Amino acid sequence: IMVRFVKQNLNKPQCDLELELELRPNNNDLSVMSIIQGRRMSMTQSKPGLVVIDLEEMASNTPNANPNQLETCQLISQRFSGRKSTFKSSGDGGATAPRNSTKRSISGDATLIPLFTSNYVLGSPCREALARLEMFHNLKCLHMTAVHGTDRADFAQCYLKQCIQDQCPTIALTEITANLSIPLGQGDTRPLVRHLRMIAFYICALQKAKSTTPTTAIYATVIQDECSHSCTVRVGDDQSIDLKVGTMENLFPIVPQVFDDRVEKAMKEIATSSSGLVSTSALSELSQIIDFYFARTLAPAVVVSSDALLIKNLVQAIGSQHNVHSLRGIEAGTYKMMKSLYDPSDTPNLRDDILKFGKGACVAVELQCPTVDGQLCIREIIEDSPSMTAFSTNKSALYKSGLFFAVHVTGELTPEVRSRASIVI
């Protein structure tokens, strides 16, 4: 069975949702409803298939909020049932479908599988609005919890070995042995994933320093002391490095060292142009973040600072290195991060600007966020997951490996940007 995918983010102003979910007389535009119609399949065709509709980031049902959960559910109920009008309660005759709406409706198509994601509980009025549609009659709310216990330990073990193989592709996964003794945390696995990627970076760096001849196996031991915030990574019997847990839970060598020659060149430019405004310890940690970036350990690397000159010099220094491109002076509040559904194909936007350099290219981007709204605009582009639109495919998605975002913020840093930052200076 073939499976197609349509993604729609619901965490946006109601007016934008109404425009994107608008029912139009033809299927030649890029409205979400037209995209769903264009990707519909049947189980009786020669190659049967399903369509997964990912409706993500449903808002809370806070009164007077925009977006609001109830208004969003009512809008989906109307549009998926083929109605162009506003939602009406059952007492107002809203349950009776207008003439010809069934021809535009997708609510009875069993090959469409809608999925909602949200950080908030689905309210009873919201559930009732969706339940008018046949496809939501059996709607189930599932509380998702992060992997924990022995499963979390198994995940950490397997993911670390996979990260090591990604950086040392000549070594078979079965020939990688990694003994982990680190705090695994609870809840969200993203901090753990970042931590494991950094550990893999040091393991591979030690393995390369251990021998100049190709090797067929890796044996590593990692021990982290949660009380002293120290960590020791050992490869074999003779190679080890002592680390410390620093800013943003990053792992830094106790004795600073550089693993990529480009880091030293970039840091020399940054140190010269910063004129002593940045502390030595901050520059040392920044150096390691850049090292992580060149090794593609952080995908993406995100440096946040209120120092506009530092951000400018940082992008200039990294962009001047071999095989690294740069985009400078991007103001998040005025320059589009990605095209919306109804923008002309030639609309300038950051996502397409990055993709023009080619798949997997190294690109350093200077982002300016003078307002809180500007910070909210960049949260999707700087998060560690592929950037996709409703009509994206695996080939057209923007993958974050090789991307470096230097973000200048004015005023208070929002939780959304802070949670995505590799380091805040």
Q: Could you say which DSSP state residue 98 is in?
A: P
Per the model's pLDDT, the better-predicted residue between 199 and 208 turns out to be: 199
pLDDT digits (tens, 9 = 90+) for 333-378: 889 888 776 677 788 999 999 999 998 899 999 999 998 888 888 8
Q: What is the pLDDT of residue 254?
A: 92
Q: What is the pLDDT of residue 247?
A: 84
Which tokens in the block code for residue 341? 């559904």
Average pLDDT, integer, range 29-57: 83
DSSP-based three-state secondary structure for 416: helix
Cα distance from N-terminal residue to C-terminal residue, the chain: 50
The residues pairing with 302 across neighbouring beta strands, listed in sequence order, are 405
CA distance 248 to 227: 17
- Please answer whether residues 139 and 80 qualify as being in contact, where contact means their C-beta atoms are separated by less than 8 angstroms: no
Q: What is the pLDDT of residue 290?
A: 95
Q: What is the pLDDT of residue 257?
A: 87
CA distance 266 to 408: 19
CA distance 133 to 326: 48
Q: What is the pLDDT of residue 282?
A: 86
CB atoms under 10 Å from CB of 310, counted, come to 22
Q: What is the pLDDT of residue 196?
A: 95
Average pLDDT, integer, range 167-188: 89
CA distance 8 to 30: 12
* Model confidence band, residue 38 (pLDDT cutoffs 50, 70, 90): confident
Pairing assessment for the beta strands 112-118 and 49-58 based on DSSP bridges = parallel
Which residue in this structure is represented by tokens 């440096």?
A: 303
Q: What is the pLDDT of residue 384?
A: 84
- Please answer whether residues 306 and 417 qualify as being in contact, where contact means their C-beta atoms are separated by less than 8 angstroms: no
Q: What is the pLDDT of residue 275?
A: 60
Average pLDDT, integer, range 128-135: 91
The residues pairing with 305 across neighbouring beta strands, listed in sequence order, are 408
DSSP-based three-state secondary structure for 72: helix
DSSP letters, 53-88, are: EEEEEEPP--TT-SS-HHHHHHHHHHHHTT--S---
Q: What is the pLDDT of residue 53?
A: 92
* Model confidence band, residue 168 (pLDDT cutoffs 50, 70, 90): confident
Which tokens in the block code for residue 143? 């509380």
CA distances from 405 to 301, 311, 367, 401 (A): 6, 9, 7, 11
Lowest-confidence region among 41-45, 100-104, 253-257, 338-342: 100-104
- Please answer whether residues 193 and 162 qualify as being in contact, where contact means their C-beta atoms are separated by less than 8 angstroms: no
Q: E strands, 120-258, where?
A: 176-181, 218-225, 230-235, 239-245, 251-253
CA distance 305 to 7: 32
Which tokens in the block code for residue 346? 């030639």
Average pLDDT, integer, range 134-159: 91
* Model confidence band, residue 318 (pLDDT cutoffs 50, 70, 90): very high
Q: What is the pLDDT of residue 100?
A: 54
| Contacts of 99 by beta carbon, 8 Å cutoff, 6+ apart | none
Look at residue 292 and tell me whether its pLDDT is greater than 80: yes
Instruction: Establish how many alpha carbons lie within 13 A of residue 343's alpha carbon, considering only the half-sphere containing its beta carbon.
Output: 13
Helices 261-274, 280-294: axis angle to 10 degrees equals: 140
* Model confidence band, residue 93 (pLDDT cutoffs 50, 70, 90): very low
For the entire predicted model, the pTM comes to 0.76
* Model confidence band, residue 390 (pLDDT cutoffs 50, 70, 90): low
Mean pLDDT of the chain: 86
Give the whole-number percent of the chain exceeding pLDDT 70: 91
Pairing assessment for the beta strands 301-305 and 423-424 based on DSSP bridges = parallel
Alpha helix segments (H runs only) across 230-300: 261-274, 280-294
DSSP letters, 109-131, are: -TTEEEEEEESSPPPHHHHHHHT
Per the model's pLDDT, the better-predicted residue between 254 and 274 turns out to be: 254
- Please answer whether residues 375 and 418 qualify as being in contact, where contact means their C-beta atoms are separated by less than 8 angstroms: no
Q: What is the pLDDT of residue 287?
A: 93
Average pLDDT, integer, range 44-68: 88
DSSP-based three-state secondary structure for 35: helix
